Structure 1
Amino acid sequence: MSQSVERALAILPLLARGPAGLGTVAEALSVHKSTALRLLRTLHEGGFVYRQPDGRYRLGAQLFALAAEAIENVDVREIAHPHLVELNRATGHTVHLALHQDDEVVYIDKVDSRYPVRMYSRIGKPVALTVAAVAKLLLADLPEAERRALAHRIEYPRYTARSTPDAQAFLRELDLVREQGWATDLGGHEEAINCLGAPVHGPGGRVVAALSVSAPGVVVAAEGLLELLPLVLRTADTISREYSGSGTGPAE
C-alpha cells in the first residue's frame, strides 16, 4: 500500500471520533500541514470528508452512503451457509438461520439432521415468536421501547406446558437472553424438541440474524444439547466476523 493511501485511510478513523482541524490531522499523521491539506482535499473531492464552516473536517456523506449500500448488499445467508453446514456435520442436528422482519421472525436457511426424525420447519416459514430461541435472540436486541411494545401486542399461544405464558414472562426471558448472549427453547414449542441458539452480529454490533441447533429429546437430552453451547457460539462469532468484514484472513 502506498504511503499516501495509508495516510488517507488513517484520517478516516481519526474523524470518526469527531470533527478535527488541519493541525490536529497533521499532528496525528506526523506530517506537514500542507501534506495533510492535500490528503483532506482529495478525500473532500470524493465526498469522504466534509469541511465545516468552522474549518474543521468530519466524515462525509459518501462514506456513509457506501457503508449503507455495502451492508444492504451483504447476504448473511450466503456467508453463513457453509458454517451452518459445518455445524450440522459436527453435531448431526438440524441447524437454522433466521431474520427478523416486521413482527415476524422467519427462517432463511436450514440444514437437516442426519437422523430419521426430521423437523417440520421450512425456509420462509415464520417461527413461534414467544418460544423459539432464534426469535428470542432477535427480539431481545430491539431497543427497550420497541421490545416492550411488541411484547404487549403479540399473542401467547400455549403450545406446551413450557410455553411462555404472557408479556411479563416474555420480557423477563428477553432480559436474560440479552444478559447471557444466547437462548434456548426447551420444549416450549414442541414438547419433544429442544433448541439452542446464538446471535449473529452486524458491523454496528446489532443482532442481524440468529442461528440455532435443534434436536428431539429422544436423540439428545436438553443437557446434552447445552453442552454444544461453546461450539454454537463460536460458529455465530465466525459468521459475525465474516459478515462484518472484521475477519483476519488475507486480502486478495
Structure 2
Amino acid sequence: MSQTVDRALSILPLLAEGPAGLEQVAARLEVHKSTALRLLRTLHEHGLVYRQQDQRYRLGTRLFALAQQAMENLDIRGIVHPHLVALNERTGHTVHLAVYEQGEVVYIDKVESRYPVRMYSRIGRPVAITVAAVAKLLLADLPEAERRAVAEQLEYPRYTAKSTPDAAAFLAELARVREQGWATDLGGHEESINCVGAPLRGADGRVCAALSVSAPNVVVGAEELLQLRPLILRTAEAAGRDLSGIPSPQ
C-alpha cells in the first residue's frame, strides 16, 4: 500500500510542471499504463487531478483549495516559537519574529534577552520599516515592481545618522539583502542596538516571515553579533522547513 501511495503522490510534482498524458505519467513512474491510469483515476475522484478534453491530466482545483486552507490555518508563531527559544538559549540575546501584513511589518513573537537590558519592541506593533533587518528581508522578497512602489511610498525618518536616507538607498539595500540572503540593522534605529536577521521560506520558496537576533552595544558589539550569522541562518532554515512540512535532513 505504501508503494501505491508513493506512486500516486509522485504524480503531483509531475503535473505541477504542466499537463501530462497517460504515457508520460507511466514513463515517469516506471509503471505499466494500466497502473498509472488506476492511480490517476483515484486522484481524479478526489479532485486532486483533472482530465482535460485532450485526455491529458493537470492538477485539480481541490488541491489548490486544500493548500489555501492549510496556509490560512498555519500557526506561524506556534510552529516557529521553539526555534526562537532555542536560538535565545544559544545566544542569550533578544529574538524576534515578524511578518509583512497590509503594508506593515509586524512583530508576532519575541523572546527576551537573558541580560538586564531590555528592548522596547512589542508583539503586535509595527517595526521601523526602513531600517529593521526583518523588514528588509520581507520587502526584499517582493516582486520588483511592488518592491519599488512600496519603497517610493515610504517616509524615511532619521532615527540616527545610520538610518536609511531615501528610497534609492533603501532599494539598493533591499537588492543586497535579496542577493546575500540575510540583513542587518547596525544602529539604524537606535545607535546602541544592533540586529542580524534571516528569512523563513515557505513551501513555495517565498519569504513568509523573518527572524532576528538583537543586542545592545553594552552587551556585544556589532562584529561579534555578526559572527552569529551562520547560527541565525541555520535556525531560520530549520524553522522554514517546519513551516513547509519538509523533513529535516538526516
Superposition TM-score, scaled by structure 2 size: 0.96
Q: Are the counterparts in 1 of residues 200 and 237 from structure 2 also a CA contact under 8 Å?
A: yes
2:228 counterpart of 1:228:
yes
Cα distance in 2, alignment partners of residues 230 and 249 from structure 1:
17
Q: Are the counterparts in 1 of residues 238 and 248 from structure 2 also a CA contact under 8 Å?
A: no
Q: Are the counterparts in 1 of residues 48 and 59 from structure 2 also a CA contact under 8 Å?
A: yes
Structure 1 residue runs of 4 or more that deviate by more than 6 Å after TM superposition: none
Q: 1:247 to 1:7 in 2, by over 3 A?
A: closer
1:23 counterpart residue number: 23
Cα distance in 1, alignment partners of residues 227 and 79 from structure 2:
25
1:201 counterpart residue number: 201
Amino acid corresponding to residue 210 of structure 2 in structure 1? A
Show structure 1 runs of 5+ residues with no match.
none
Q: Are the counterparts in 1 of residues 196 and 212 from structure 2 also a CA contact under 8 Å?
A: yes
Alignment of 1:1-252 (within 5 A): 1-248=1-248
Deviations 1:64-114 (A, max 9, x none): 111121122121111110110111111111100001011110000000111
Cα distance in 2, alignment partners of residues 187 and 232 from structure 1:
19
Percent of matched pairs sharing the same residue: 74
Q: What is the total number of aligned residue pairs between the two structures?
A: 250
Amino acid corresponding to residue 61 of structure 1 in structure 2? T
Q: Quote the offset at 1:249 in angstroms.
A: 7.7
Cα distance in 1, alignment partners of residues 31 and 3 from structure 2:
11
SS at 1:209 equivalent: strand
Cα distance in 1, alignment partners of residues 191 and 118 from structure 2:
14
Cα distance in 2, alignment partners of residues 15 and 77 from structure 1:
32
Task: Please say which of residues 12-21 and 165-174 is displaced more in the overlay.
Answer: 12-21
Task: Please say which of residues 180-189 and 239-248 is displaced more in the overlay.
Answer: 239-248
RMSD: 1.3
Amino acid corresponding to residue 40 of structure 1 in structure 2? L
Q: Quote the offset at 1:29 in angstroms.
A: 2.5
Q: Are the counterparts in 1 of residues 186 and 222 from structure 2 also a CA contact under 8 Å?
A: yes
Q: Quote the offset at 1:176 in angstroms.
A: 0.6
Amino acid corresponding to residue 244 of structure 1 in structure 2? S
SS at 2:114 equivalent: coil
Show structure 2 runs of 5+ residues with no match.
none
Cα distance in 2, alignment partners of residues 238 and 3 from structure 1:
28
Deviations 1:175-227 (A, max 9, x none): 01001100000110001101110001111111100000000011101001001
Q: Quote the offset at 1:234 in angstroms.
A: 0.6
Superposition TM-score, scaled by structure 1 size: 0.96
